[in-house]
C-alpha cells in the first residue's frame, strides 16, 4: 500500500528508468517529467510587490499562449448550442446502452442455461462449469488493451458493430446442440471466441463516450448505459423463464433456445448498428456544423481531448506513461475487488443457481432471479435472509462499477494514455472475474457459499479503503497544481504533460 502513497518527487525519480521495447522513447523524455514534478514540490516564493508584477505578466502570457497553443478560441456556454448534449443522449446513448445490455446478456445467459439443463445434458461437473467460465475471461483480458488502442485508429463506427455482429453469431452457435455444442469441448470453444470478441466492448464503450462528452458530463451517461447490465439481469431471467418452455421444439433442449434466440437478436442489432454510430462529433450526421464545432471546442476546453490532433495520436510513450500513474493502479485494485466482475459477474453467472439451491424448481429459479425480487421475497418462507441479501449485494455492486469507470476515464489524458488507463482497469476486473467463477462455482458449497461470502465482504471493505486513498492522492495533486498555477504561466510549462499538467484538474 505504501507504494501508492509516494510523493511527487518520488514519482519523478521513478521516470528516468530503462524501459525495453515497445517504449524506446519513454526514458528519453522523462527528464521533463522530473523537472515538472520537482516544481510541484518547490513552488517559489515572492514578495508582495514582485507577486503583483508576476501575476500581471502571467496573465499577459496566458492570453498569448492560449491563442498560440489552442487552435480553437475561448469557449463560452451558448444556451442555443447546449442542446447538443440532449441530441447525443438521444442518438448515441441508447445505442451504447443496447450494446452493453446485449454484451452482458450473451455472456451471462449461461447461468440461466445451466439451471435449464445445460450442465446435466453435457455431463459437466461444477469444476468443469467453472472452467468453461474461466475460458471466457482469458481471451477477454488479452483483447482489452489492443482493442482500446485500435478503437480510434480503426474507428468505433466500424469496430464496435463488427464485434457485436460476430459475437451474436458465436452466441447463436452455442445453441446448435446438434453440430457445435454436442460436447463439453464444443462449449469451451464457443466460450473462448465469445470472450475474444466481447473483450473490448466495455472499455471501448467508456472510451467512445469520452469522444463526445466533457468530463463533468460523463458520469451519469456511463451510469445510464451500465444500468443496462442490471436490466439484462432481469431481462435474462424473464426470457429464460419463457424460452425454456420451448424444450423439444426442433429437437432441441430449452437451454439451446436461450442461446439461439438471444444470439440472433444480437446479430440483427449488430448489422443495424453500422448505420447508427458516428465515428466522432465531426462525423455526426445529426449535428449542424456549428454544433460540431461547439462540441469539439468544449471537449478541448475541458481537457477531454488534446488541444491539437498531434497530441492525441497513438504513441507507445503514452501507453508506458499510463502504467506509471499511481491513480491508475489504485483504481485497478479497486476494480479487481469491486466485483464489477468478482461480485457483479459472480452474481450474474450464479444468481439462478443460488436461488435454485434454496429449494426452487428450474423454471421458478429463473423467474425469481429477476431483480428486485420483491414479490417473491414476501412469498418465501425458507432461506428468507439469504434471499434478501441479494437485494443489497446486487444494487451496491452496480452502483460502484459505473462510478469507478468514470473516475478512471476522467483522470488520464491524452487519448492514448486514457485508452490504456481504462483498459488496465478492465483487465483487472476480468481477472477478478476468474476468481468469481471459482469462488461461487466449486470452492464454496451451495446453498450458503460461506467462503465466497467472506472473501467478497473483505473485498468490499478494501474497496472503501483504497477509494479513500485515491481520493486523498488526487486532492493532494490538485493542491500542488494550484500552487504552480499561481506562480508560472502556461507557456512556461513543459508541453505534452497530459493529466500531469498543472492546468489539468483531477476529478475527485
What pLDDT, in 10s, does the model give residues 145-203?
Answer: 999 999 989 999 999 999 999 999 999 988 876 667 888 888 999 999 998 998 888 89
% of the chain surpassing 70 pLDDT: 67
What is the per-residue pLDDT for 344?
A: 54
**CB neighbour burial string for 365-389, b if at least 16 within 10 angstroms, e if fewer:** bbbbbbbebeebeeebeebeebbee
d(Cα 500, Cα 30) in Å, to the nearest integer? 12
What is the per-residue pLDDT for 209?
A: 92
Q: How confident is the model at residue 308 (pLDDT cuts 50, 70, 90)?
A: low
Could you tell me the pTM of the whole model? 0.72
Query: Is-cis flag, bond preceding 372, omega within 30?
Result: yes
> Is pLDDT larger for residue 116 or for residue 308?
116
Instruction: Output the CATH code of domain 85-302+315-468.
Output: 1.20.1250.20
d(Cα 170, Cα 187) in Å, to the nearest integer? 10
Q: Which of 121, 131, 105 is nearest to 441 (CA)?
A: 131
Q: How confident is the model at residue 369 (pLDDT cuts 50, 70, 90)?
A: low
- Under DSSP, the state recorded for 359 is T
Say which residue the cell 508584477 belongs to: 53
d(Cα 477, Cα 420) in Å, to the nearest integer? 21
Q: Which of 358, 429, 361 is nearest to 390 (CA)?
A: 358
Query: Is-cis flag, bond preceding 447, omega within 30?
Result: yes
Determine the average pLDDT of the residues in 397-416: 83
Q: Is the pLDDT of residue 414 over 50?
A: yes
What is the per-residue pLDDT for 397?
A: 67
> Is pLDDT larger for residue 472 or for residue 27?
472
What is the per-residue pLDDT for 16?
A: 38
What is the per-residue pLDDT for 13?
A: 38
pLDDT tens, 97-152? 999 888 878 877 887 788 778 888 888 888 888 888 888 888 989 999 999 999 98
pLDDT tens, 439-493? 766 677 766 777 877 888 888 889 899 999 999 999 999 999 999 988 888 888 8
d(Cα 164, Cα 205) in Å, to the nearest integer? 12
pLDDT tens, 34-59? 444 444 444 443 333 333 344 444 43
d(Cα 449, Cα 356) in Å, to the nearest integer? 13
% helix / strand / coil in the chain, to the nearest 5? 75, 0, 25
In the numeric block, which cell numbers belong to residue 105? Answer: 446478456
What is the per-residue pLDDT for 228?
A: 65
Q: Are 62 and 490 in contact (CB under 8 A)?
A: yes
> Is pLDDT larger for residue 370 or for residue 260?
260
% of the chain surpassing 90 pLDDT: 25
Determine the average pLDDT of the residues in 365-371: 52
Q: How confident is the model at residue 348 (pLDDT cuts 50, 70, 90)?
A: low
Q: How confident is the model at residue 398 (pLDDT cuts 50, 70, 90)?
A: low
List the chain domain ranges.
85-302+315-468
What is the per-residue pLDDT for 170?
A: 92
Determine the average pLDDT of the residues in 289-310: 81
Mean pLDDT across the chain, nearest whole number? 75
Amino acid at each position: 500500500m505504501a507504494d501508492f502513497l509516494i510523493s511527487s518527487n518520488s514519482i519523478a525519480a521513478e521516470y528516468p528508468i530503462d524501459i525495453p521495447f515497445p517504449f524506446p522513447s519513454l526514458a528519453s523524455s522523462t527528464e521533463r517529467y522530473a523537472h515538472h514534478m520537482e516544481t510541484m514540490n518547490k513552488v517559489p516564493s515572492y514578495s508582495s510587490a514582485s507577486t503583483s508584477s508576476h501575476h500581471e505578466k502571467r496573465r499577459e502570457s496566458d492570453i498569448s499562449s492560449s491563442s498560440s497553443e489552442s487552435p480553437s478560441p475561448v469557449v463560452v456556454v451558448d444556451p442555443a448550442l447546449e442542446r447538443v448534449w440532449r441530441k447525443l443522449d438521444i442518438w448515441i446513448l441508447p445505442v451504447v446502452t443496447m450494446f452493453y445490455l446485449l454484451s452482458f446478456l450473451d455472456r451471462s445467459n449461461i447461468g440461466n442455461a445451466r439451471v435449464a439443463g445445460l450442465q446435466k445434458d453435457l455431463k459437466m461437473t461444477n469444476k468443469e462449469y467453472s472452467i468453461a467460465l474461466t475460458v471466457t475471461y482469458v481471451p477477454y483480458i488479452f483483447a482489452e488493451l489492443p482493442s482500446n488502442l485500435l478503437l480510434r485508429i480503426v474507428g468505433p463506427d466500424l469496430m464496435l458493430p463488427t464485434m457485436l455482429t460476430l459475437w451474436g453469431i458465436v452466441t447463436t452457435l452455442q445453441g446448435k446442440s446438434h453440430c457445435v455444442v454436442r460436447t463439453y469441448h464444443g462449449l469451451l470453444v464457443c466460450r473462448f471466441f465469445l470472450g475474444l470478441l466481447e473483450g473490448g466492448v466495455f472499455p471501448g464503450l467508456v472510451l467512445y463516450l469520452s469522444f463526445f462528452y466533457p468530463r463533468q458530463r460523463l458520469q451519469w451517461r456511463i451510469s445510464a448505459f451500465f444500468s443496462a447490465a442490471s436490466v439484462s439481469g432481469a431481462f435474462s431471467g424473464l426470457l429464460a423463464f419463457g424460452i425454456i418452455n420451448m424444450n423439444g421444439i426442433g429437437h432441441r433442449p430449452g437451454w439451446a433456445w436461450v442461446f439461439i434466440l438471444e444470439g440472433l437478436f444480437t446479430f440483427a442489432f449488430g448489422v443495424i448498428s453500422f448505420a447508427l454510430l458516428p465515428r466522432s462529433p465531426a462525423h455526426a450526421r445529426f449535428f449542424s456544423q456549428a454544433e460540431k464545432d461547439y462540441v469539439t471546442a468544449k471537449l478541448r476546453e475541458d481537457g477531454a481531448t488534446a488541444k491539437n490532433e498531434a497530441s492525441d495520436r497513438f504513441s507507445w510513450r503514452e501507453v508506458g506513461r499510463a502504467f506509471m500513474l499511481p491513480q491508475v493502479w489504485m483504481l485497478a485494485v479497486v476494480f479487481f475487488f469491486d466485483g464489477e466482475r468478482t461480485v457483479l459477474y459472480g452474481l450474474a453467472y450464479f444468481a439462478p443457481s443460488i436461488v435454485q439451491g434454496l429449494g426452487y424448481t428450474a423454471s421458478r429459479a429463473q423467474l425469481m432471479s429477476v431483480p428486485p425480487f420483491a414479490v417473491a421475497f414476501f412469498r418465501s418462507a425458507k432461506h428468507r435472509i439469504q434471499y434478501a441479501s441479494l437485494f443489497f449485494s446486487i444494487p451496491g455492486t452496480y452502483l460502484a462499477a459505473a462510478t469507478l469507470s468514470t473516475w478512471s476515464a476522467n483522470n488520464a489524458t491524452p487519448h492514448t494514455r486514457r485508452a490504456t488507463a481504462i483498459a488496465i482497469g478492465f483487465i483487472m476486473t476480468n481477472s477478478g472475474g476468474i476468481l468469481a467463477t471459482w469462488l461461487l462455482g466449486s470452492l464454496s458449497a451451495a446453498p450458503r457459499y460461506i467462503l465466497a461470502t467472506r472473501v467478497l465482504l473483505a473485498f468490499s471493505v478494501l474497496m472503501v479503503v483504497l477509494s479513500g486513498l485515491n481520493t486523498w492522492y488526487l486532492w493532494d495533486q490538485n493542491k500542488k497544481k494550484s500552487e504552480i498555477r499561481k506562480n508560472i504561466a502556461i507557456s512556461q510549462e513543459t508541453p505534452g504533460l497530459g493529466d500531469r499538467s498543472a492546468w489539468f484538474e483531477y476529478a475527485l
